A = this chain, B = another copy of it.
């Protein structure tokens, strides 16, 4: 497991949830037309559908707290699969919900810099 893999995954996860909790619309830069989100078993393909779904979620405030983050190298150079588990709090709810979320990240070269986009995003609440 390379340090770089861990670093990239950690930076991605931190950025993703900070942006999600602040303004999901800002996540649009992370998806592409071939990207897919499955959110509680409903699926959405392409940046616009994904972001519309994230913006339509029925809460005013959300806070993700990451508990674990386990990255692995994907099937092509620098691809990353990462499984996140954590808890989230919505609105005035005091009891956090547990969730699991699996991302598959693909690198692309943007003006000489490597950036990652989300090819796969599968989110599930996990009930104890």
Contacts and interface: CB of A to CB of B under 8 A. Distances in A.
B73 A76 contact: no
Interface stretch (A18-26, A47-55, A56-64, A120-128): A120-128
A122 B82 CA distance: 8
A65 to B, nearest CB: 12
Band of interface residues on A: 20 to 34
Interface string A100-113: 11101010000000
A95 to B, nearest CB: 9
Interface in A6-48: 36, 38, 41, 43
A128 B36 CA distance: 27
23 contacts: A1-B43, A41-B70, A68-B124, A70-B124, A74-B75, A74-B120, A75-B119, A81-B102, A81-B120, A83-B83, A83-B100, A83-B101, A83-B124, A85-B100, A98-B98, A98-B126, A98-B127, A98-B128, A100-B100, A100-B102, A102-B102, A104-B104, A127-B128
